[in-house]
Copies of this chain bind each other. A is one copy, B any other.
Amino acid sequence: MTDTIDRTILGGPVAPRSSVLRPLDPSELRIVGGFWGEQQELNATAIIGHCLTWMERIGWIGNFDRAAEGTVAEHHDGIEFVDSEVYKLLEAMAWELGRSGDPALEATYLRLVDRVAGAQEADGYLHTSFGRPGQRPRYSDLEWGHELYCFGHLFQAAVARHRTGHADTLVEVARRLADHVYVEFGPDGRDAVCGHPEVETALMELGRALDEQRYRELARILIERRGRRRLKTTLFQGSEYFLDDVPVRDAEVLRGHAVRAMYLAAGATDVAAEFGDAELLDALRTQWDNTVARRTYLTGGIGSHHQNEEFGSDFELPADRAYAETCAAIGSVMFSWRLLLQTGEAKYADLIERTLLNAVLVSPREDGRAFYYANTLHQRSQGSIPAEDEVSERAESSMRAPWFEVSCCPTNVARTLASAASYIATATDDGIQLHQFADAEIETTVASGTVRIRVESGGYPYAGTPSVSVRSDGEVEVSIRIPAWAEGARARFGEEVVPIVDGYARIRASFAAGDRILLELPMEPRLTYPDARIDALRGTVAVERGPLVLCAESADLPAGVDVDRISIDPSQPPQGTADGASAVIAIAEPQESSWPYGERPAGGSATAATTATVPLIPYHRWANRGPSTMRVFLPIAAR
């Protein structure tokens, strides 16, 4: 099937039936160049193909062929949830096809869908690891089997296909699978949830896309079932790990496994929006507030424990053991975006920008062929170098790896970049809201008629002079986010200073050809101090510039100097450069001691000897020049 579908039910990855802000769909907003255009181009020309090549090579796609042939029980490649990586790649391809319409990609996509579809069983069930003779029975390991988790990613891939104008094979595969899941886990099915949330937000969106109330209701049921401590715990993974310790509506803060936490929060926000559940929405907003205030890295990254990929306790945010998994950051963007749609509050868009630019974009190497899984804020040693042709563990090397045994992050990056246009702007009945600065063309309809907007990023995020050209049939309010960091920012419309209200420069007008709003955002490097309760960062300061967190990388230090010997004097603040900063650092002599505690501070930055002026580069671009050491938070020099 290649049916195209009714234009009116399109939307982005999220299209709530009720929200303060309405998301734009791929036909209404296109990224046309600049920084985000480059990211999407990298995704189209490198990342998507890289993911496809790897998953063919190591048999994860072949699992579907063997499932169709009946041989997968004898030979299954990868752990039990690798189906989900194929689905995230299909989602990425679908969004990318919506962007480019590339016929070669379309053919590749359709062939891959056919192979997936071939593995679906007569009753709709589709999973290559369970249920056949010689495999474990279906739903026999809800804690760790990731069956519903995989289904969720298939549903999201189907939503992407549907929202880009096609109701073809994958959409029908998803429908049959969702019908099966409703029977198995719905009101008359088993009273259980999946160990890894994901299907909730996916069912909701599939239910919205296909206008199927049962799927939306099942999403609600699965959210409500969570938090009853029914999932079996292990020696190391308690109920908190699974977010099964407390009902979603009773929790105060995100906790446990960070990706699980974020996917669950995203699904719960969908449920709150769909069913007008104000109590649940309030609980989620509180959880977001407390998580951001106490459990989030400067980059927007989350999850400070390697152990269980979990959140730490409040203010436990060590730079050198930051896990900050790429997928958790993507989950954070998903959660924040849903809250932004429901509230219109700028803080959610602020965190999305911080997280995308710093915690997500740090993952892919600049050639798009290697990725970070965890994203430390402090690399102490260079570590071993991942081989370019081998599957890596979630390494602690300073270098990105081409693929992982659990390889959730590369495909998650791919689908996020392919759908990046979704997060740029929203509309209301009488207004347009620009949340992110990307070179983009927008055309949509509000009450007063058509609005056409051209955003020129002006070199953002490196430069601070975006401009927004608007033409409208009638009066419309254009709201442009002024980032929270941009103290002293100005927005002008001709001679007029545009007032900044609640984080947005807001101007209401009938815009004519040539009308243009000009922004001036302060791009001087800023010293940023950690809260004193973050013990691991005491006595340090970070440098930010615009929306970018900067870092010191050993590649930029004098030869032979690693980041364990540098410090910075805040009275000599860094100066701005084209894309980062230039800082005077003090360099200590290397020291040895037989016991690392003594009568006075010693070692490392404690005994600065010489100074040097060095570049600080955007954190998301570190480790593109070979093995190195790096730090975001710089020790403050002893005086």
A contact residues vs B (CB 8 Å cutoff): 79, 235-236, 238, 289, 292-294, 296, 298, 305-307, 312-321, 347, 378, 380-381, 393, 405-406, 484, 526-536, 538-540, 542, 564, 588, 592-607, 635
Bound-complex Cα distance A596 to B50 (A)? 37
Q: Is the Cβ of B532 less than 8 Å from the Cβ of A605?
A: yes
In the complex, 14 of the A-B residue pairs with CB atoms within 8 angstroms, ordered by the A residue number, are: A293-B592, A293-B594, A312-B321, A314-B380, A319-B535, A529-B600, A529-B602, A531-B593, A531-B596, A531-B601, A532-B601, A535-B635, A538-B539, A542-B597
Q: Is the Cβ of B606 less than 8 Å from the Cβ of A527?
A: no
Q: Is the Cβ of A536 less than 8 Å from the Cβ of B536?
A: yes
Q: Is the Cβ of B599 less than 8 Å from the Cβ of A526?
A: yes
Q: Is the Cβ of B320 less than 8 Å from the Cβ of A597?
A: no
Q: Is the Cβ of B305 less than 8 Å from the Cβ of A538?
A: no
Q: Report if A315-B535 is in contact (Cβ < 8 Å); known contacts: A235-B393, A530-B601, A601-B529.
A: no
Bound-complex Cα distance A315 to B597 (A)? 11
Q: Is the Cβ of A603 less than 8 Å from the Cβ of B531?
A: yes
Bound-complex Cα distance A458 to B309 (A)? 50
Q: Is the Cβ of A529 less than 8 Å from the Cβ of B598?
A: yes
Bound-complex Cα distance A147 to B307 (A)? 26
Q: Is the Cβ of B293 less than 8 Å from the Cβ of A530?
A: no
Q: Determine how close the nearest CB of chain B comes to the CB of A387; give it in whole angstroms.
A: 15
- Contact among B296, B305, B532 with A604 in the assembled complex (CB-CB below 8 Å): B532
Q: Is the Cβ of A593 less than 8 Å from the Cβ of B542?
A: no
Q: Determine how close the nearest CB of chain B comes to the CB of A145; give it in whole angstroms.
A: 16
Bound-complex Cα distance A564 to B532 (A)? 9
Q: Determine how close the nearest CB of chain B comes to the CB of A109; give it in whole angstroms.
A: 31
- Contact among B306, B312, B604 with A531 in the assembled complex (CB-CB below 8 Å): B604
In the complex, which residues of chain B have a beta carbon less than 8 angstroms from the beta carbon of A293?
592-596
Q: Report if A606-B536 is in contact (Cβ < 8 Å); known contacts: A380-B313, A597-B542, A599-B527.
A: no
Q: Is the Cβ of A564 less than 8 Å from the Cβ of B315?
A: yes
In the complex, which residues of chain B have a beta carbon less than 8 angstroms from the beta carbon of A596?
293-294, 296, 315, 317, 530-531, 533-534
Q: Is the Cβ of A528 less than 8 Å from the Cβ of B598?
A: yes
Q: Report if A594-B528 is in contact (Cβ < 8 Å); known contacts: A318-B318, A538-B538, A538-B540.
A: no
- Contact among B79, B292, B533 with A594 in the assembled complex (CB-CB below 8 Å): B292
Q: Is the Cβ of B318 less than 8 Å from the Cβ of A238?
A: no
In the complex, which residues of chain B have a beta carbon less than 8 angstroms from the beta carbon of A315?
380, 564, 596, 604
Q: Determine how close the nearest CB of chain B comes to the CB of A571; give it in whole angstroms.
A: 13
In the complex, which residues of chain B have a beta carbon less than 8 angstroms from the beta carbon of A318?
318, 321, 535-536
What 4 A-B pairs come out closest when comparing CB atoms? A539-B539, A532-B604, A532-B606, A531-B596
- Contact among B238, B319, B393, B484 with A238 in the assembled complex (CB-CB below 8 Å): B393
- Number of identical monomers bound together in the oligomeric complex: 2
Q: Determine how close the nearest CB of chain B comes to the CB of A544; give it in whole angstroms.
A: 9
> Which residue in chain B gives the minimum CB-CB distance to A608?
B532
> Which residue in chain B gives the minimum CB-CB distance to A383?
B313
Q: Report if A603-B380 is in contact (Cβ < 8 Å); known contacts: A289-B594, A294-B596.
A: no
> Which residue in chain B gives the minimum CB-CB distance to A312?
B321
- Contact among B238, B294, B378, B393 with A535 in the assembled complex (CB-CB below 8 Å): B378
In the complex, which residues of chain B have a beta carbon less than 8 angstroms from the beta carbon of A316?
320-321, 380
Q: Is the Cβ of B597 less than 8 Å from the Cβ of A406?
A: no
Q: Determine how close the nearest CB of chain B comes to the CB of A241; give it in whole angstroms.
A: 11
Q: Report if A533-B603 is in contact (Cβ < 8 Å); known contacts: A315-B564, A316-B320.
A: yes
Bound-complex Cα distance A319 to B526 (A)? 29
* Among A405, A540, A592, A599: residue with most chain B CB under 10 A: A599
Q: Determine how close the nearest CB of chain B comes to the CB of A298; give it in whole angstroms.
A: 5
In the complex, which residues of chain B have a beta carbon less than 8 angstroms from the beta carbon of A292?
594-595
In the complex, which residues of chain B have a beta carbon less than 8 angstroms from the beta carbon of A236?
393
Q: Determine how close the nearest CB of chain B comes to the CB of A77; give it in whole angstroms.
A: 15
Q: Determine how close the nearest CB of chain B comes to the CB of A509; give it in whole angstroms.
A: 32
Q: Determine how close the nearest CB of chain B comes to the CB of A58; give it in whole angstroms.
A: 15
Bound-complex Cα distance A548 to B606 (A)? 26
In the complex, which residues of chain B have a beta carbon less than 8 angstroms from the beta carbon of A601?
529-532
> Which residue in chain B gives the minimum CB-CB distance to A289?
B594
Q: Determine how close the nearest CB of chain B comes to the CB of A130; give it in whole angstroms.
A: 19
Q: Determine how close the nearest CB of chain B comes to the CB of A341; give it in whole angstroms.
A: 20
In the complex, which residues of chain B have a beta carbon less than 8 angstroms from the beta carbon of A604?
315, 531-533
> Which residue in chain B gives the minimum CB-CB distance to A592?
B293
In the complex, which residues of chain B have a beta carbon less than 8 angstroms from the beta carbon of A529?
597-602
Known: A535-B536, A536-B536. 11 other contacts (CB 8 A): A235-B405, A235-B406, A294-B596, A306-B307, A316-B320, A318-B536, A530-B596, A531-B596, A533-B603, A538-B539, A538-B635
Q: Determine how close the nearest CB of chain B comes to the CB of A623; give it in whole angstroms.
A: 17
In the complex, which residues of chain B have a beta carbon less than 8 angstroms from the beta carbon of A588?
532
In the complex, which residues of chain B have a beta carbon less than 8 angstroms from the beta carbon of A564?
315, 533
In the complex, which residues of chain B have a beta carbon less than 8 angstroms from the beta carbon of A599?
526-529
> Which residue in chain B gives the minimum CB-CB distance to A237?
B393
In the complex, which residues of chain B have a beta carbon less than 8 angstroms from the beta carbon of A305?
306-307, 321
* Among A296, A542, A596: residue with most chain B CB under 10 A: A596
Q: Determine how close the nearest CB of chain B comes to the CB of A449; give it in whole angstroms.
A: 38
Bound-complex Cα distance A528 to B602 (A)? 11
> Which residue in chain B gives the minimum CB-CB distance to A294?
B596
In the complex, which residues of chain B have a beta carbon less than 8 angstroms from the beta carbon of A289?
594
Bound-complex Cα distance A536 to B539 (A)? 10
> Which residue in chain B gives the minimum CB-CB distance to A542?
B597
> Which residue in chain B gives the minimum CB-CB distance to A304?
B321
- Contact among B313, B538, B597 with A528 in the assembled complex (CB-CB below 8 Å): B597
Q: Determine how close the nearest CB of chain B comes to the CB of A316; give it in whole angstroms.
A: 6
